[in-house]
């Protein structure tokens, strides 16, 4: 790209292209100019030397965190703002399709719903899912995007090979409003090189699904790699997309991982050499079957047999494939406690179209869309422990909603929902 000028920001020189000058001058409207001024300051803070075009954005700021959340979006609307690239929306604070599920204070629900709709008025797509990669807005390999929401970021970078940094609230929307992002971090090829080699030396032979291994490895690399890029060798070759989704989600929660390479499984890691771009690792972490068992055990804060008040699945949001695995497990006796499954609108519609939704709800399952049970008041009874098959939910829920947690496989979660207590299979 040709440089038409430069500005001094935070002691560094930032080159501007003609489109950046046009944005700052207000030729694309006052809202875009306001956002570009914020991006200019942000780019200086992170040491970027220029901006790039992005193909898409994913906005995390529609989860209501106080008046500032709504004030920022309302300001952009008052300036006549519209997003410049396809922009999906992360979970909000309420389920707009099932508003009766909300159990918190009504003023909070009203403000949360307004925030969600205000983003729609900016031209964002009302996906309201933490898994935008499960919609038609799935980015291509190599696409430069500006995504927020930790699991979406790590999935886009790792499993799809798109390129995004960890964009937080307001900056993600500024990128969407301008179609521009600072060129730094994981947008840059050399910064995507793995730094840490993670060797899974052995897997517990009793684990018959890859998901448990992926959650365990994800939790460990989050704690031990921080924001460094790991390359993982030895994951089960049968690890599916949903397993890698779970790995990235817990790695981004327990640490700051925004990209991992799984050798032989993810697109930038056809080999160990490709993942490290021909360089040597800075560190090697070796994991035994015992390490993985210990990690899974430590995700639970209560022992087997503990009474449950609920079971929650779908963090990140349940995919259609995960529902397909769930449905046979629901055949049989009624549930003893509430079972919630969080999912996105597109998957919800697929369930309805296939006739699965009616069967799932008839089994006693509450399907939650637009939000998630660990970020808003949906679970009816929090008097006891809650069980989940999500490493991310197990990591966040004790602090977010004040519950004890049992972690288990999908089959164990359903069996426990039937028994009303933690069951191990």
| pLDDT (0 to 100) of residue 1 | 36
8-43: pLDDT as tens digits = 665 468 999 999 999 999 999 999 999 999 999 999
Domain boundary among 145, 163, 189: 189
The pLDDT-based confidence of 381 (bands split at 50, 70, 90) is very high
User: Average pLDDT over the chain, rounded to whole?
Assistant: 96
Residues 322 and 286 occupy one common structural domain: no
The pLDDT-based confidence of 2 (bands split at 50, 70, 90) is very low
The pLDDT-based confidence of 5 (bands split at 50, 70, 90) is low
Domain boundary among 267, 297, 327: 297
Q: How far apart are CA 55 and CA 128, in angstroms?
A: 19
The strand ranges marked E within 119-195 are 146-147, 180-182
Domain contains 378: yes
As given in the structure block, the two tokens for residue 348 are 């919800």
Containing 395, the helix (H) or strand (E) segment is: helix 391-401
Reply yes or no on whether the pLDDT at 68 is more than 60: yes
As given in the structure block, the two tokens for residue 27 are 């030729």
Segments forming the whole domain that contains residue 53: 5-189
pTM: 0.95
| pLDDT (0 to 100) of residue 12 | 61
Percent of the chain with pLDDT over 70: 97
| Residue 236 burial (C-beta neighbours within 10 Å; 0-12, 13-18, 19+) | middle
105-154: pLDDT as tens digits = 999 999 999 999 999 999 999 999 999 999 999 999 999 999 999 999 99
> What's the CATH number where 362 sits?
3.30.499.10
Domain contains 425: no
What phi-psi label fits residue 188: left (phi over 0), alpha (psi between -120 and 50 degrees) or beta? beta
In the chain, how many domains are there?
3
Reply yes or no on whether the pLDDT at 170 is more than 50: yes
Domain contains 305: yes
Pairing, β 338-343 against β 308-318: parallel
């Amino acid at each position: 790209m040709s440089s038409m000028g430069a500005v001094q920001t935070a002691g560094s020189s930032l080159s501007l292209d003609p489109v950046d000058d046009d944005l700052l001058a207000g030729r694309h409207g006052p809202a875009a100019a306001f956002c570009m001024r914020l991006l200019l300051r942000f780019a200086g803070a992170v040491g970027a030397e220029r901006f790039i075009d992005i193909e898409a954005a994913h906005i995390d700021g529609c989860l209501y965190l106080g008046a500032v959340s709504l004030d920022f979006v309302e300001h952009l609307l008052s300036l006549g703002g519209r997003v410049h690239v396809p922009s999906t929306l992360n979970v909000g604070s309420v389920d707009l399709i099932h508003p009766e599920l909300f159990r918190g204070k009504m003023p909070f629900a009203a403000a949360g719903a307004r925030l969600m709709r205000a983003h729609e008025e900016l031209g964002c797509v009302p996906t309201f899912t933490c898994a935008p990669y499960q919609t038609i807005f799935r980015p291509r390999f190599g696409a430069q995007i500006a995504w927020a929401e930790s699991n979406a970021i790590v999935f886009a970078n790792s499993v799809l090979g798109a390129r995004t940094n960890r964009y937080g609230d307001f900056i993600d929307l500024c990128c969407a409003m301008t179609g521009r992002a600072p060129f730094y971090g994981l947008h840059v090829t050399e910064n995507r090189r793995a730094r840490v080699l993670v060797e899974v030396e052995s897997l517990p032979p009793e684990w018959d699904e890859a998901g448990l291994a992926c959650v365990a490895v994800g939790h460990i690399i989050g704690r031990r790699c921080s924001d460094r890029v790991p390359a993982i060798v030895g994951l089960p070759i049968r690890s599916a997309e949903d397993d890698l989704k779970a790995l990235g989600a817990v790695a981004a929660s327990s640490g700051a991982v925004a990209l991992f390479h799984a050798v032989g499984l993810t697109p930038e890691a056809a080999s160990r050499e490709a993942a490290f771009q021909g360089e040597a690792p800075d560190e090697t972490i070796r994991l035994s079957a015992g390490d993985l068992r210990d990690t899974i055990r430590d995700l639970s804060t209560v022992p087997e047999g503990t009474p449950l008040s609920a079971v929650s699945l779908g963090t990140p949001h349940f995919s259609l494939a995960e529902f397909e695995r769930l449905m046979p497990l629901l055949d049989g006796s009624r549930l003893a406690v509430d079972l919630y499954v969080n999912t996105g609108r597109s998957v919800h519609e697929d369930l309805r179209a296939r006739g699965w939704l009616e069967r799932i709800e008839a089994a006693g399952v509450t399907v939650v869309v637009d939000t998630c049970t660990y970020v808003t008041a949906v679970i009816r009874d929090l008097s006891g422990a809650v069980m989940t098959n999500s490493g991310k939910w197990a990591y966040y829920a004790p602090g977010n909603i004040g519950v004890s947690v049992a972690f288990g496989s999908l089959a164990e979660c359903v069996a426990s929902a039937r028994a009303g207590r933690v069951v191990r299979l």
